[in-house]
Amino acid sequence: MNEENIIEKVRVPTFFKKRYESQIDDFDSPLVNMKAIRVNTLLCNEKKLINDLKKKGVKLNKIDWLDKGYTFESDFSMSSTAEYLKGFFYLQEAASQIPVQVLNPSPGELVLDMSAAPGSKTTQIASYMNNEGVLVALDNSSRRIEKLNNNIERMGVTNSIVYNKDARFANDLNIKFDKILLDAPCSGNYCVEDSWFLKRTSEDFDMKSDTQKQLFSEAFQILKKSGEIVYSTCSLEIEEDEEVVEWALETFNLKLIDTDLNMGNPGCTEKTKLCRKFWPHKTGTQGFFVAKFKKL
């Protein structure tokens, strides 16, 4: 991990320290600040964009484990640049770019984003699809839907259909999908918020897990046979990560498949070794978890 990304170390309460040390031997607790962009190839040439931003004094470095991700340093607001306003890039944390890369949607497919707003992953899916096929995006917040629609327009997405809908009732759409992204609502993680530990209890993790299982159950029902689901969270809690994966494997006719990631640690249980968990002190990113399933 690049030490420059570390802002400070967070004091971890004993309860959480024991939880994390049961998952990984050398646990550490940095607050990290890896600022990153994702290039939008729907609207620009990647090489030209990087050259243009460098001419403006932006320091950019390719993230070697991401398809279109770059870290950056800038003396000015990147969101005020003409390139940002034209939709040439999205300000998107590095780990947040992983789930869509793992899903790897293709042109012509029917794809669902179950928790779409504000649109980072929805617009990333569209870029993989090259605006070909159909992308359905759901969110149950009208306020967040407005942000989603704004980003869809800014990023040049033309193959999306947006519904203001609770994804737990996605079966109402009467559509079967080739691929589904379930980037599930979760409790978050400490490394981007130093007061996180003061706000969370184990009851929070159990409540989130219940919602995550409801969403996964709906996703399985509307997935085509041999279709794929990517399940992800920005949580490091086993109740929201490995335990949801094990529950899914026991409940539904599906299997875990390789994420093809060369970053992150394996899941911390024997049945979840094909999953990847991003520990901030290892990857220099926020905490993240991703699993990929295939319906049998």
Q: Would you please indicate which residues are annotated as catalytic (active-site) residues?
A: 234
End-to-end CA distance of the chain: 38
Burial of residue 24, with CB atoms counted within 10 A of its CB: 0-12 exposed, 13-18 middle, 19 or more buried:
middle
Residue 226 parent element (H or E): strand 223-233
Contacts of 51 (CB under 8 A, 6+ apart): none
Torsion of CA 75, 78, 80, 86, to 10 degrees: 150
**Tokens encoding 80:** 């005020």
Cα angle 114-195-234, degrees, rounded to a multiple of 5:
25
Those residues with Cβ within 8 angstroms of residue 4's Cβ, 6 or more apart along the chain or in another chain: none
Rounded Cα distance between 202 and 186, Å, is: 13
What distance in Å separates the CA atoms of residue 287 and residue 273, rounded to the nearest whole number?
A: 17
User: Which H/E stretch holds residue 5?
Assistant: none
- Angle 103-104-108 from CA coordinates, rounded to 5°: 115
| d(C-alpha 6, C-alpha 95), whole Å | 15
Is the peptide bond preceding residue 118 cis, with omega within 30 degrees of 0?
A: yes
Distance of CA 200 to the CA centre of its chain: 21
Q: Which residue has the tokens 């109402």?
A: 172
